[in-house]
Structure formats: C-alpha cells, structure tokens
Chain A
Amino acid sequence: MPETVVAIRNLSKIYAQGEIQVTALNDVSLDIEMGEFLTLMGPSGSGKSTLLHIIAGIDRPTSGRCLVQNLDVTGLNESELADWRNQNVGFVFQTFNLIPVLTAFENVELPLLLTQLDRSERRRRVQTALDIVGLADRMHHLPKQLSGGQEQRVAIARALVTDPRLVVADEPTGNLDSHSAQEVLMVLQQLSREAGKTVIMVTHDPKAAAYGSRSIHLEKGELLKDEAVTAR
C-alpha cells in the first residue's frame, strides 16, 4: 500500500481586501503519495501557487488542515516552520532565485549550513546533488555565468541537497526555452521515479504536465479534475 505523504483536508484560503473577499482556495481535499510526480494545472489566479505554498509551509490556510508525513504543518510556529522547511521541503521557483553573489556550489550548500553536517560531508552532498542535475563541472560558476536552464538545475540541486521527502516547484519551466525546460522536467521526473521523492509542480503547460504521473486541475480555488497521466 503506497504511503501518503501529503494529506490535505478541507483547505480554504480567503484573502480579505477591505470589503471584498477573494477566495484563493475553497475546501480543497487531496492525498498525495510517496514518489508521485503531481502537476497542478489551471488558469491564472486559480489558486495553484497558494496551494503549493501551504503544502511547502510558507503560507497558512484560513481553515482546514495540511498534514505532511502525519505532521500538521498549519500548527507550527514560524521558527518551527523554518526548521521544518529546511529538513523536509525543497523549493524550486519560476525565477530560479539563486543568490547572485554565491557560486553554484555555495548556493547549493546554503540549506546545509543550517544542519549539523561537517564541511567534508556538506561538500560530498553538494557534489552529489550537482551530479544529479549534471552540473558538477560548473560548481564554481556564479549564477550570471550560467544559462537559464543551468541556473534552474542548480536551484533543483539546492532543493534536493538536504534529501527532503518533498520537492515543490512553482512553474519551474516558465522562464525557460523548450530545450532547457525539457532538461529540467526530466530531472524532476527522475527524482520521483528513481529517488522516490514526491514532486509537486505547478504549471499551465500541458506538455510539462505530461512528465508527471498525476495531474490536478484547479479552477477558482476548487479542485476540478484529478487524473492519472498515462503517457510516456
């Protein structure tokens, strides 16, 4: 029986802007299993990012619960959440968000500096992570010396260097050409298939969604379709 990594129950997020209330998520319930590569699809403003942020512990729902590995992340305080994110979630952004003044190696090492690992162990892990994304030979380059696709792969290495259960990505291919996008999607797919990571990716590109194992459609904050991806 597959292990449930994320269990979402009746999750709602309502933004109050003065008189007007914007419902970003409306009573969403969802289970995500280990090793799944889940893609979140839907039109702009449908609540994809909001859902992803709540799962990743960087935003809080208005109501409902979000359990990750049986831990209710909505109940953690801010510093507990920071530690939890560091150990359990890898985050990949649309805009890469590498630190410009740090090299690829140093960027990937950043999350490890918050752990107890010693220098040589950190070095080993960073090298492994960069190997997985195929950029071991670029580790001393600064972000500005890398292409967009390479930057995003460094960002993926940073997301997986702490060996988290969960890797979340918000439109990771949105700023990439189709070739670079393909490389990034293959890495994410490999993470779920070979390393058993649970990958959740927001996208509105159906071609990108085809790399996933399961696809969810949101509209106006509600879950519409939930389907297994059969192709590939």
Chain B
Amino acid sequence: MALPIKYSFRNALVRWRSTIATVLGIGLVVFVFVLLQSLAAGIEKSSGNTGDPRNVMIVRKGSTSESASLISRDNLREIRYFEEIARNEQGEAVISADVLVLVNLPRRDGTEANVLLRGVTARGMELRPQVELVAGRWFRPGMREIVVSAKLARRFANFDVGQSFRTGNSTFTVVGWLDGQGSAFDSECWLDADECRSVFERDMYSSFLARVPDAGAMSNLIARIESDRRFKLKAESEVEYYRSQTMTAAPIRWLGGFLAITMSIGAVFAAMNTMYAAVGARTREIGTLRVLGYRRRSVVIALLLEGAMLALVGGVVGCVAAYQWNGYTTATMGFETFSEIVFQFAVTPPLVAQGLVFAVVVGIMGTLLPAIRASRLPVIEALKAI
C-alpha cells in the first residue's frame, strides 16, 4: 500500500520556497512552450476559421497562395457559365473575381511592412459574410476609397477613418474598418475590384471565388476545372484552401517544440538536482518509513508524486504567465504572402492541459533517479544517515 498523498503534497509544499529556482525553471519552460503553441494556435485559428463551406476557391495551378496567382479574364468568361455554380435570383452566376495586391505601407512605429489589398466585387463581399463593417462605411467604387481591417488599423499609420495614404500613384481615403472575426480577412484591406485593377495596372485576376449549391456540385466543379487542360487552374473548397495556408504556423510549432525540448532537458536536470538534495536530506526518514513496513516501491511512488507536484506548481506558474497573453493581438510576416498577418494568442484549454502535463513529465523525469537511488539504499544504511 502507498504512502498517503498528503506526505508527498506537504513535502513538495514545505520546500517550495527553497526550490523556487526549480519551480521557476519549470515555469519558464512551460511558459515558453504554451506561449509559442498559443501563437501557432492563434495563426491556425485565423486561417482555420476562414471561409465558407459552400465556396470554391480557384487559383492558378502551382501558386501557393491567392496573392501569388494570376488568372486571365478569358477564364472567368468561360467558368461563369458552368452550371455547377449557384445562381442568384437574377439568374447570375455567384462568382467573384478578386485582385490581390501587396503594398508597402508605413506602420505607426515608423517601420514599413507589406499589406494585402483585396480588390473585391459586391458579389465577393456577399460570399464572405464573415467580414463585417465595424466603423465608417463601405467604399464607393471609383472614389479612391478603401476599407481597412480594424486590427491592422491599430498597427499602421494613416489607417484611421478619414485619413488617407498614397500607394500605386493614387491617394486612398480610409472610409471604414472591417472585422473578419478572427479570420484571415483581419489581415486585409478591401477596395473595389475594378478600381484596384486600374490603379495597380493589373490585367489579370488573382482568384475566383464561386458559390456552389451543394457538396455534389462542389466536387463536380472542382473535378471539371482541374481536369480541363485549357485552364491550368486549381480549385478547392475555400475552407480547405485556408486550412492549407495554416502551414505558416508550422515553423512556430517546430520552434516551440525545439525550445521546449532543449529547455526541458535543462529543467529535468534542475529538478533532479533539487530532488537529489531533497531526498538526500531525508535519507533517514526514508529508512524509518521502511522500518515501519513501507516497501521500496511505495517510497519511489511517493517521491515521484512529490516531484510531480512540485513541477505542477511550476506548470501552473508558467500557464498563468502565458495566459496573460491570451487574446493579445499581434502580427507576423506571412510566409506565403510576405504581408502582415494579424492574429491573437490563443491559450486554449488543451494547451494549458498540455503545459501542465509537460511540467509533470519533467518533474517525474527529474525525480526518477533520485527516488530510485534513495529506495535502493539498505534500510540499515539509510537509518545511519545523519
């Protein structure tokens, strides 16, 4: 039978001050781990919750993203007659041809960064109901008006409603702020599609977004476009398209994993050091427990539990620290578009759980050797310890 849990618990707590370095060390590892994962989770969330399951995204074959794709106007003329595409009340095909342009604009802090401008049609706005106007009004075509993402507005100069900025040899006036509800559209600025093409001298479109009436039509449309040799186009569901853009977060996950592993090796040794000292100071106590009839195994389990609890304190510290960043909006350079991508740290419950489990594993690994060594000692030797 095992030693009471309170034995491990109180021993962990009684020493927590003296082992504060270990607690903080584990806390730091968990903090870095959870924070980086929450960053990745935030990026994934922003691309993961973008798109409408009834939409099909069409880009040029071989392009990794919408902004790197070029499609001719002829293609649009043909595809809009495909019967797989949904029709509105007027009998028109629900398809929008967008133009994406990367422009370099000054940030509020004086540096510059790329911003993604989307030349969008009225139909394109209907196809993206996620995007809402949160300030000002929508742009009027031909008036050099633009609606910027509210989240970008906090980072870029001249993005307040009423202000204007120059790009593409034109001066645009910001007339409104849009909110993409945590989607990838939070990193975009919208203006009229035709105006966008003329200002930036684009003859080609970047992408088509088409609505389909049902899942069957979706797979038919995708198959039809992909198999037609004339087009050289790639079609996939809009949701799928944005999900594959999630690859952006992979390097951060790798970095997070790498840092977590290297730092946790340090933390394991720190925990081991602490536990060797803690267990060493209690050698006679362990001998006493064994005289009373407790087995080696009970002693090992109690010590592991103690190390795990100590580490858990560190884990909680790390998670609480990381949680301070939850919902904090930040930006990174997109690896696909090289434009500013805004997203929010997402310290999700599974991440917190992972962080805590991680801490406990570090604690147990650090305690294993000291615990085994302590239990190996013959009772008689243990009793003679000072």
Q: A residues engaging B (CB < 8 A)?
A: 53, 56, 58-59, 79, 82-83, 85-87, 91, 93, 95, 97, 99-102, 106, 110-111, 113-114, 158
Contact = CB atoms under 8 A, between A and B. Distances in A.
A82 B7 CA distance: 20
A219 B377 CA distance: 29
Nearest to B290: A82
Contacts of B11: 101
Interface in B349-386: 379-380, 383
A53 B294 contact: no
B293 A93 contact: no
B288 A85 contact: no
B380 A101 contact: no
The 4 closest A-B pairs by CB, nearest first: A86-B293, A101-B10, A97-B288, A58-B379
Given A58-B291, A82-B290, A97 B285 contact: yes
Interface of B: 1, 3-4, 6-7, 10-11, 14, 284-285, 288-295, 379-380, 383
B208 to A, nearest CB: 70
Contact of A53 (B3, B7, B290, B380): B380
A102 B7 contact: yes
B291 A85 contact: yes
Given A97-B284, A102-B10, A113 B4 contact: yes
Contacts of A56: 291
Given A110-B289, A158-B292, 5 more contacts: A58-B291, A97-B284, A97-B285, A99-B289, A110-B292
Given A59-B380, A113-B4, A93 B288 contact: yes
Contact of A58 (B3, B4, B284, B380): B380
Contacts of B284: 95, 97
A102 B295 CA distance: 19
Contact of A101 (B7, B292, B293): B7
26 contacts: A56-B291, A58-B291, A58-B383, A59-B379, A82-B290, A82-B293, A85-B292, A87-B293, A91-B292, A95-B284, A97-B284, A97-B285, A99-B7, A99-B285, A99-B289, A100-B14, A101-B7, A102-B6, A102-B10, A110-B292, A111-B292, A113-B3, A113-B4, A114-B1, A114-B294, A158-B292
